[in-house]
Amino acid sequence: MTKQAFVALVTCFNEDETINYQATRAQVRRQVAAGNNIMCAGTNGDFTALTFEEKVRLTEEVVDEVGGRVKVIVNAGMPATFETVKLAREFDRIGVDGIAVITPFFIACTQDGLVRHFSTVADAVKTPVYLYDIPARTQNHIEPETARTLAGHGNIAGIKDSGGAKETLEAYLQVAKEFDGFEVYSGPDHLVLWALQNGAAGCISGLGNAMPHVLAGILNAFNAGEIGESEKQQAIFAAFRTDLYALGFAPAMVKRALFLQDASVGASRQPALLPNAEQDAQIAAILRKYELLG
């Protein structure tokens, strides 16, 4: 099976913090040109700062710009099952390739509650649903046994693991071996190649916003059986990650790095990063180190 790379696409903003749809479309074209698929309205896309209506229009714009050239997954996850279902139905109508559902955040969920939540969403749409586990941000974790239960649902197609622990990823990969068609996508950028070598269907990367061709290079080389080249590209990707993420909150660092490459992407709506000349100089130095900035 050909492995797939998705980029968790940034959402571009104007100076007044309204969404810049044209700039977002340009980022879609950039990723498509590199050969990467798209995930929109995810963590790197500032989904927690977007309104319901903005998420719907954003997805419509991205799907239109992609024009069927690559796959599009969109995140519908919200704390309440009710709003998650409403969003998922809109994305179902638009016609995406997959609907990711991040675990509910702010509220503490039992594992039975997670089974009910994800099952209810999957029952409400025809588009395949992907579980999205990122416990450091949501404080709720999809236990491997819960993933095993949900893998038996006819419309739950896989999971994105952004936990960062090999042990959990291995457990999810074991579930994939037991359920034909259940796909595991790795989120941590330092584990892309490791995940592919251990049976993952692909990755969903935030760092790929700033380094799209290296991400694509990892996947292309792996799919071609050129493991040495894939290892080389992964080493570059992991080193860039280490340097950049040492400066602060990962999605904020990715967005700022991309801003320094192309100011049309705008700032973030999130308060995680305020413009800082010293930090910008550090990010710019890292970009130049990897020949990503002139």
Report the candidate in 202, 209, 149 with the shortest Cα–Cα distance to residue 179.
Answer: 149
What is the gyration radius of the CA atoms in the chain, in angstroms?
18
How does DSSP classify residue 155?
T
Q: Is 160 a catalytic residue?
A: yes
Alpha helices in 100-248 (DSSP H): 111-124, 135-138, 144-151, 166-178, 192-197, 212-223, 227-245
CA–CA separation, 91 and 59 (whole Å) = 7
Report the candidate in 201, 266, 280, 293 with the shortest Cα–Cα distance to residue 10.
Answer: 266
Are the C-beta atoms of 160 and 99 separated by less than 8 Å? no
Task: Find tokens 């037991």 and name the residue.
Answer: 178
Which of 3, 21, 130, 160 is the catalytic position? Answer: 160
CA–CA separation, 196 and 281 (whole Å) = 35
CA–CA separation, 214 and 147 (whole Å) = 31
Cα torsion angle, 63, 65, 30, 259, sign: negative
Task: Find tokens 């080193």 and name the residue.
Answer: 239
Tally Cβ neighbours within 10 Å of residue 276.
13
Are the C-beta atoms of 41 and 50 separated by less than 8 Å? yes
Cα torsion angle, 254, 208, 192, 218, sign: negative
Which of 130, 132, 172, 185 is the catalytic position? Answer: 132
Q: Is 55 a catalytic residue?
A: no
Task: List residues with catalytic annotation.
Answer: 132, 160
